[in-house]
Amino acid sequence: MANHKSAEKRIRRNAVRATVNHARLSRIRTYVKKVEVALQGGDAAEASAALRAAQPEIQRGVSKGVLHRNTAARKISRLNKRVRSLSAS
């Protein structure tokens, strides 16, 4: 239990930040899932378009502090590799 006014404010602020960060992470996951669905469907053009839409969302997650930059780079790299392999075959 908070004993100071500043601690009470910190509790409120942490709750708001957690809600916002959860929404950002959920949005990123949705964009990544759109790419994966397009990959499962085998549509290279749709997967490429979905990846182009997902990349800025993932990078935004890095700039907002929701994702680590290496995690984002790894996700983008792996998705990009899968999209390229789909369009090559």
pLDDT at 49: 97
Number of structural domains the chain divides into: 1
Using alpha carbons only, give the angle 29, 60, 28 rounded to the nearest 5 degrees: 5
- Domain that includes residue 27, residue range: 5-88
**pTM of the entire structure?**
0.87
3-state SS string for 45-77: HHHHHHHHHHHHHHHHHHHCCCCCHHHHHHHHH
Q: Does the pLDDT of residue 71 top 80, yes or no?
A: yes
CATH of the domain at 39: 1.20.58.110
Burial of 80 (0-12, 13-18, 19+ CB in 10 A): middle
State both tokens at 83. Answer: 């999209």
CB 79 within 8 A of CB 37: no
pLDDT value at residue 47: 96
